[in-house]
Amino acid sequence: MKKTVTKLADGRELIYYDGDGTAGSAGAPRDAADRRPLGSVATASEIRRDPLLGDSVVIASHRQGRTYHPPADACPLCPSRGDRLTEIPAADYDVAVFENRFPSLTGDAGRCEVVCFTADHDASFADLTEDRARLVLDAWTDRTAELSRHPGVEQIYCFENRGREIGVTLGHPHGQIYAYPFTTPHTEHVLRSLADHRERTGGNLFDDTVADERKDGSRVVVEGEHWTAFVPYAAHWPYEVHLYPRRRVPDLPALGEQARAEFPRIYLDLLRRFDRVFGPDEPPTPYISGWHQAPLRGWEERPVEREEFALHLELFTIRRTSGKLKFLAGSESGMRVFINDVPPETAAARLREVADE
């Protein structure tokens, strides 16, 4: 992997990641200047604490003006060519990462980055080659390692939102990285469960969960030599898959080379199954996919060690059947009690059924 760090016109950081030691498929230079007349980025992010739930809520009013569903010929994530100037000054790229122009988290309140998976506007992650998917994994890993060194960052979340139904405002294949200055509410709940399980059983909750799923088998979707993908026993979403490396590690930088090498095949297989699960006449399946990594700090105050956390990826769709979405209505939004219309065993069987023959 070749890494090139540069700056955009307003001072934001831009990083190119290229495979095979080259400068992209078209040989485009990575020192191209950002020729846009951009002023300084004006942001106003604030974190507030909910006194009843103890949750952190981000207030980011400047995001109201972010780019919203531009036409393809005005996409800000495509390469810059001729007089068409974008967030990527180069005329081509493999993978590019830059600071979000409309971040939810800013300054001491964290950092938000955009990850462009490919220069091809009409592609999706599932269209990538295994080599390109590995390059994205390497970029996620590098950014996790780099952001982990920021003193104010407590947890890093690499994720992709795909589809208008999810709320995506740019159609170009891309994801994001959030570097939170706090541990997310989701992870705090998991850590409490992890501690409770160790106290009750003496075992590790992640290890025992994966072992139970592999032993039962009814919800396992894909198994590799170094990865296991399954629909969880109490899945919240109609089609939801959790992907774990066989060897427990707390974050992406700790992932071993054998698991890294196998990941592209397993992950691309899962994404392609998601696109087939509702039938050939359905549009691409909307989904959220994200890496759950151990928090970086605060372990001296917790009853578990950082090494007890297990890196894993969670992939799910809000589509519950052909032409119908799963809405978070009264019970889910009001009381956080999910009601799933698709039994996890049924979802797993369907995902196994649509394997690419």
Q: Give me the active site residues, please.
A: 174
186 annotated ligand-binding residue: no
Alpha helix (H) ranges present in the chain?
130-148, 185-201, 205-216, 257-276, 335, 344-353
Strand partners, 289: 160, 315
CA-CA distance, 278 to 46, in Å (whole number)? 40
Which H or E run contains 48? strand 45-49
Cα distance between the two ends of the chain: 32
DSSP 105: S
| Listed residue (239, 271, 23, 223) closest to 125, CA to CA | 271
75 annotated ligand-binding residue: yes
**Spatial contact of 99 and 112, defined as CB atoms under 8 Å apart:** yes
- Which burial class, exposed, middle or buried, applies to 54 when counting CB atoms under 10 A from its CB (0-12, 13-18, 19+)? exposed
**Spatial contact of 88 and 116, defined as CB atoms under 8 Å apart:** yes
Burial readout 222-260 (b: 16 or more C-beta within 10 A, e: otherwise): bebebbbbbbbeebbbbbbbbbbbbebbbbbebbeeebb
189 annotated ligand-binding residue: no
121 annotated ligand-binding residue: yes
CA distances from 26 to 19, 221, 277, 317 (A): 12, 38, 35, 35
- Which burial class, exposed, middle or buried, applies to 108 when counting CB atoms under 10 A from its CB (0-12, 13-18, 19+)? exposed
CA-CA distance, 254 to 206, in Å (whole number)? 16
Query: Between the CA atoms of 162, 166, 241 and 327, what dihedral angle is there, to the nearest 10 degrees?
Result: -160
CA-CA distance, 6 to 30, in Å (whole number)? 8
Task: Name the binding residues for Zn(2+).
Answer: 75, 78, 121, 172
Task: Name the binding residues.
Answer: 75, 78, 121, 172
